[in-house]
Every structure is written in structure tokens, then in C-alpha cells.
Amino acid sequence: MNKAHHSVEIDRQFAINLSRGLQVLRAFTPAQYLLGNRELCEKTSLPKATISRLTYTLEQLGYLTRIDRLQKYRLGPGVLMLGYPMLASMEIRHLARPHIEKLAAKTGWTVNLGMLGKLEVVYIDALRIDRGNFLKPDIGSARPLLTTALGRALLFTSTSAQRASILNRLKVEDAAQYAADFPYFEKDRVFYEKNGFCLSRGDWKRNVLAVAVPLNIASDDHLQIGMNCTISTARLTKAELLKNIIPHLFEARHNIERDSGKIVTTSGISL
């Protein structure tokens, strides 16, 4: 059963037409940025007539742009305009920027800020210093929760009720994927409790090393924000990581939290 149909059956406030329009917009990805009506039907499981009405309407509103010679659509400038007010109003991005620039300069690693989304991490800032980084992180890109250091850092600092709800939804969404990914989450939970940061050695992508910490910031909107450092094809020992990367990561976290007005306590780490 289509998820939108299921949702409307259990919640009369659920606007199914809006949901279908958003399904169409979410079907576009960096790898599939040009899609025709037929492909959108396949990706959303919506009827052809419904897709035709939705793509026409979204084009008229500026959320899709039609490429006539290909008979396909791409996301339009209206989508970008939707996201800008949110990004512009997130004070943490402006406050943290000088600190993530220093962190990237000191480590030579790519540095990202991410927030907890519905079932993923969404990057809200990215400073790509590691030019060999084949993942090309950018603002608005999403990463999985259970297999990334940043995703796990955000989950570990969520409330127990929130974490249980997210884990349950991930399991319902894709039970097989959840079963494959959950051991990474459990292993890093033990590591985080001991060391105060999360570590991923190719858990999501084989040649990517990442470390991450949550940010305890003073915020009126209660956003859950974290910061990571990533590098491709690195072969660092734990001792090298602790000596050359983690102190700079912790320093950046301390400075961001301090500038946000939050009182910070320093905890020791061991490897």
C-alpha cells in the first residue's frame, strides 16, 4: 500500500495531494536530476494521470523546470527558494563558520555541520578541504543515521524516547537494511561512551574515515546539531587520530558551544 494512502487512513488531517507533490520533488536526486513522467511514475508508484497533473502544477509554480528536448523535468529555482529562509535563519551556521574553517585548516579534513532530520542526517554547512573526497558533501545532502559517525552522534544525544521512535521507524522502513546497520550503531555506542566522540572507519562508504561530536548549543528552536570531520582513503591509527585530529575537533566544539552561550564541561577521552 502506498504510504501516503496509509497515512491518510489513520490521520484525517493528512493532506494527500500535498504529500504526492512532495513525493515527486523527493524523487529527484543528484544522480537522477532529470526525470520524465514515466520515471516519476515508477519511482513514486503514483498513476500516470496523477503524475501529469502534479508535474504540470509544480512547473507552473516554479518548483520544476521542463527540458522540452528531453521531455524531462529537473528541480526548479522554487525549491531552492524554499530552503533559503531556513538556512539564513539558522544562527548556528554563522556562529560556527569561523570555527569549522579553523578546524578544516588545522586537520586538512572536510568538515560538516549536520542536523537530525526525520530518518537521516541533513548537512547544513560543509567545508570541503579534502579534495579527494569523492562523496562531495554539500548543504542539503543527506546521510544515513546508523552507519555514519555524525548520524550516530545525533542519535546518542537524543532523548531515549526520541531515539527509540527513530530506530523503530528505520526498522519499519527497511527491516533488512536496519538489521545490517544496527551492529554499527551498537559498536559505536560503546565507543562513544568511553571516548566522547563517534568513529566510522568505512561503515557507510568503504574508504571514508569520519569522526563526529554532537553540539550542545543554546537555541530557541531546539535543533539537534552535530559536527564531523571526514577524509577519504586515510589509514590513521587510533593514536594518530587522537594526537592529530580529535584535540582540534574538541577545541572547535568547545568554541562553538561557548559562543552560542552554552556552558561547556570538558570530558577526558581514552583510546
| CATH 1.10.10.10 residue spans of the chain | 3-78
Confidence bin at 169 (pLDDT 50/70/90): very high
Does residue 259 or residue 134 have the better pLDDT?
Answer: 259
Find where cell 582513503 sits.
233
Is 50 exceeded by the pLDDT of residue 92? yes
Q: Are 113 and 100 in contact (CB under 8 A)?
A: yes
Q: What is the CATH number of domain 3-78?
A: 1.10.10.10
Ranges of CATH 3.30.450.40 domains, the chain? 90-259
Provide the CATH number for the domain formed by 90-259 in this structure.
3.30.450.40
Q: What is the per-residue pLDDT across 186-224, written as a single tens digit (0 to 9) for each?
A: 999 999 999 999 999 999 998 899 999 999 986 656 789
Per-residue confidence (pLDDT) for residue 136, from 0 to 100: 72
In whole angstroms, give the CA distance from residue 266 to residue 249.
Answer: 13
| pLDDT bucket at 58, cuts 50 / 70 / 90 | very high
Tell me if residue 13 falls in helix, strand or coil.
coil
- Residue percentage of the chain with pLDDT more than 90: 74
Tell me what the mean pLDDT of segment 231-244 comes to.
86
Mean pLDDT, rounded, of the chain: 89
Predicted confidence at residue 236, as pLDDT, reads 86
Give the per-residue pLDDT at 237: 86
Alpha helices in the chain (DSSP H): 3-10, 16-26, 37-44, 48-60, 77-89, 91-107, 149-156, 160-173, 175-195, 238-244, 246-259
User: How much is the average pLDDT of 40-63?
Assistant: 97
Highest mean predicted confidence (pLDDT) among 22-31, 231-240, 260-269: 22-31
